[in-house]
Structure 1
Amino acid sequence: MSEHLGHDDGVLIVDETGFLKKGIKSAGVQRQYSGTAGRTENCQLGVFLAYASPHARTLIDRELYLPRGWCDDPARRTEAGIAASVGFATKPALGLRMLERAIAAGLPARWVTADEAYGQDSKFRTWLQQQRIGYVLAVPRNQRVPTTAGNSRPDVLAANAPVLAWKRRSCGDGAKGPRLYDWAVASLPGTDDGCGHWLLIRRSITDPKDLAYYLCFGPAGTLDEDLIRVAGTRWAIEECFQTAKTEVGLDHYQVRRYDAWYRHITLVLWAHSYLAVTTAQTKRETRNLIMNSSCPSASARSAVSWHT
């Protein structure tokens, strides 16, 4: 991925997806909330890391979430092939594990984005700040946010934002065109030299009561448009889940063991990355072919006298 799609402005995206299952034998399965189904179901949850660059986007890493009930049941662990060294880890901890691997592998990335499950985890944010990696992380409306007047809530700050603070911007293109929202950005106090902290607020154009909040960190002087762009990049992992399930069988498996799940998912990630790379290369070759064919030679240009 670094070689073919790497870009200095790359964005790493953490999110999970559910795998609906019947029975109680599949590693990590239990009744738990699945964003895929939009409700509590009997399922496995996989935490994934995606990479998005100007060239393409694809899934690059994975971890299977094991609930505490599984980790504390030796007989069940043995039957599912879960090694004794595998302990309980929260979803943000699994996300950090994958981020560490991506950074250690030299994958160029300037930003990380994720939903509320990760944004409200202080250890997740602190690690990124220590690595000097920018982030745009969704947080709930009641998240404690530092201000010069003490801690406050994002929804309280949004209610008191001046009219001129709101700007209509697109955070990327969707299936129906640009994703337009009203956005406001507030600077927050911080102690990091050369870096800034911000609260980014997104408001629906059709329903002004529909708001989303993001805690942001990055180089001092980061433009509002950059924060908005990174916030919109989070949709890339949803697109990756969709294409991986329809094109390379991300959720088409019958395995039950822990190690077998990793084998299947790893092969799927390889296939998905291969498709992303070949698609990006084809687009580049097509673009170059069009550009070259549209530039006539000097002899062709001088063969006739053009009206100017």
Structure 2
Amino acid sequence: MSQDQNETAASATVDHEGHEAAFGALLASFSTCFARSETRETFARMTRGMLMELEDVNCWSLAEAIGERGPHRLHHLLSRAVWDEQAVLERTALWAVNLLDDGDGVLIADETGDAKSSRDAVAAARQYSGSVGGVDLCQVAVHLTFATATGHCLIDRRLYFTREWAGDEERRELTGVPDELCFTTKPQLAAHMLRAAGLQGISASFFLGDEVYGGRELRTTCRELGLGYVVAVRSNHQVTTPAAKLTAARAAARLPKRAWERMRTGTGQKGVRDDDWAMIEVTADDTPDGHDPDTGTSVLLVRRHRYTRTLSYYRCFAPGPVTLARLVSLVCRRWRVEDDFQDAKETCHLDKGQVTCWNSWHRWSVITLVAYAFLAVTAALERTAQTSRNDPAETDLVTLSSHELLRLLRALMLPPPRRDAEHLLWWSPWRRRHQHHARLCHRRWHTYADTTP
């Protein structure tokens, strides 16, 4: 009986024919973004390759896995082929948003870094990144996530340049950075993506971000776009209360005991997490020109850890009345972007692009985000279907994760990596020959560098 129940549950969870149709619909949504059918087909095959189970992921390993005789088509796709990668990403975002939107979507911005071994890569510089564990040579990009109660997905990205890198004309020319681009802060990149999302017709109720995105300029942009916001701020952030102008830490210190309310912060594998929360009315300092300063609700939200008593602070604005429970739920929802980073890197190789130029970086990221959008949205819809079925055979199953769905897709939908003897014997000498040539080039360069004054 138990075995029959397991088989029934597995068959209910897996809809590989529907997944194949969904993947085809996603590809069809941006088919007109390619000038040639051969380029469109190479894109589709490379996107499928991103979802294959491979030990290492680069153009060589992807080309071998999808049955190519060399990486030349993939290199061409990333560098010189004629296709509109930004339009592909925008249509993918609309596809994902239309399937996930439940009327209460939020937009979340955060940055992530990818460690690099060479300064030759576009925007690679010694800079701080939490994902690499501190200051290191890395590329940093700001991403935008769309999240609802149904699911969440990365929908946009912008590559970040340090001020020094942006001013290096030689490196800009070598990596093909457009002349019109200049140094832009991370909050300004987030504002560009929020405006782009609005122009695409993507509607959301709130913008969420950590301390990097708590500045007045970005908060003003949110209000111009009709968004509320919940952004983390530092303890020395200045707020104006009805009583005085003071720091967030001093405002929290004046709270009476009755102002604190214990509320659920989240649910993890080890159980529920509860913290103490309080809300302080503050005067808005980010009213856009032409807007009524008395419209909306502006508050400072304070979180106190239940055990360590550590305080965290959030600047919040809502176009209308807002409850403490609503703001707490938004603070918790911000972590969806961190989940997206982890899943996109582990399943779709967002951080594996071995590319050096502006064009190639953006096209690699688009291909990975298309693959991740398909995976994340499909998993979210499967979870919704599992809940609505209310099948007794599924009551003892955890909800379907992106990782588990990917295992099923590899078994039931995706073509396996090509591993026949003829193909492997073709690739082995090809790879060794090019590695030999690369080694000779490196030696010649080092010899030239050592002897040139």
**Same structural fold, with TM-score higher than 0.5 when normalized by the shorter chain:** yes
| Distance change >3 Å, CA 88–CA 235, structure 1 → 2 | same
Give the alignment of 1:185-224 within 5 angstroms: 185-190=279-284, 192-208=293-309, 210-224=310-324
Query: Are 2:238 and 1:161 equivalent residues in the alignment?
Result: no
Partner of 2:436: none
How much identity, in percent, do the aligned residues show? Answer: 36
| Distance change >3 Å, CA 172–CA 192, structure 1 → 2 | farther
Partner of 2:242: 148
Gaps of 5+ in 2: 1-95, 285-291, 395-453
Following TM superposition, by how much is the alpha carbon of 1:2 offset from its aligned partner in structure 2, in angstroms?
2.4
CA contact (8 A) 1:96 1:124 kept: yes
Partner of 2:344: 244
Quote the RMSD (CA, aligned, Å).
1.8
* Aligned counterparts of 1:42 and 1:222: Cα–Cα separation in 2: 43
Partner of 1:27: 122
Following TM superposition, by how much is the alpha carbon of 1:168 offset from its aligned partner in structure 2, in angstroms?
1.1
* Aligned counterparts of 1:172 and 1:98: Cα–Cα separation in 2: 28
CA contact (8 A) 1:172 1:233 kept: no
SS class of match (1:36):
helix
AA of the residue aligned to 2:274 = L
AA of the residue aligned to 1:172 = G
* Aligned counterparts of 2:359 and 2:282: Cα–Cα separation in 1: 44
Query: Are 2:144 and 1:44 equivalent residues in the alignment?
Result: no
Decide which of 112, 122, 134 is 2:216's aligned counterpart: 122
AA of the residue aligned to 2:276 = D
Query: Are 2:365 and 1:265 equivalent residues in the alignment?
Result: yes
* Aligned counterparts of 1:179 and 1:13: Cα–Cα separation in 2: 22
CA contact (8 A) 2:150 2:384 kept: no
CA contact (8 A) 1:7 1:109 kept: no
SS class of match (2:114):
strand
CA contact (8 A) 1:16 1:46 kept: yes
Query: Are 2:191 and 1:90 equivalent residues in the alignment?
Result: no
* Aligned counterparts of 1:175 and 1:104: Cα–Cα separation in 2: 39
Partner of 1:301: none
CA contact (8 A) 1:171 1:228 kept: yes
Partner of 1:133: 227
Q: Deviations over 1:208-247 (max 9, x none)?
A: 1x11100000033211111111111111111111101111
* Aligned counterparts of 2:354 and 2:393: Cα–Cα separation in 1: 50
Q: Deviations over 1:49-103 (max 9, x none)?
A: 0111011011110000011112211111011111111111100000011111112
CA contact (8 A) 2:239 2:283 kept: no
* Aligned counterparts of 1:258 and 1:174: Cα–Cα separation in 2: 39
Following TM superposition, by how much is the alpha carbon of 1:259 offset from its aligned partner in structure 2, in angstroms?
1.4
CA contact (8 A) 1:7 1:108 kept: no
| Distance change >3 Å, CA 292–CA 104, structure 1 → 2 | farther
* Aligned counterparts of 1:102 and 1:256: Cα–Cα separation in 2: 28
Following TM superposition, by how much is the alpha carbon of 1:193 offset from its aligned partner in structure 2, in angstroms?
4.1
Partner of 2:160: 65
SS class of match (1:46):
strand
Following TM superposition, by how much is the alpha carbon of 1:291 offset from its aligned partner in structure 2, in angstroms?
5.8
* Aligned counterparts of 2:302 and 2:296: Cα–Cα separation in 1: 20
| Distance change >3 Å, CA 292–CA 105, structure 1 → 2 | farther
* Aligned counterparts of 1:194 and 1:178: Cα–Cα separation in 2: 36
Partner of 1:302: none
* Aligned counterparts of 1:133 and 1:76: Cα–Cα separation in 2: 38
* Aligned counterparts of 1:193 and 1:288: Cα–Cα separation in 2: 43
AA of the residue aligned to 1:146 = T
AA of the residue aligned to 1:18 = G
User: How many residues of Structure 1 are paired with residues of Structure 2 in the alignment?
Assistant: 292
Partner of 2:107: 12
Query: Are 2:382 and 1:282 equivalent residues in the alignment?
Result: yes
Partner of 1:56: 151
* Aligned counterparts of 2:330 and 2:271: Cα–Cα separation in 1: 17
* Aligned counterparts of 1:3 and 1:14: Cα–Cα separation in 2: 20
AA of the residue aligned to 2:343 = T
| Distance change >3 Å, CA 99–CA 178, structure 1 → 2 | farther
Following TM superposition, by how much is the alpha carbon of 1:15 offset from its aligned partner in structure 2, in angstroms?
0.4
| Distance change >3 Å, CA 18–CA 175, structure 1 → 2 | farther
SS class of match (1:62):
strand
| Deviating more after overlay: 266-275 vs 188-197 | 188-197
Q: Deviations over 1:239-271 (max 9, x none)?
A: 111101111101112111111111111111111
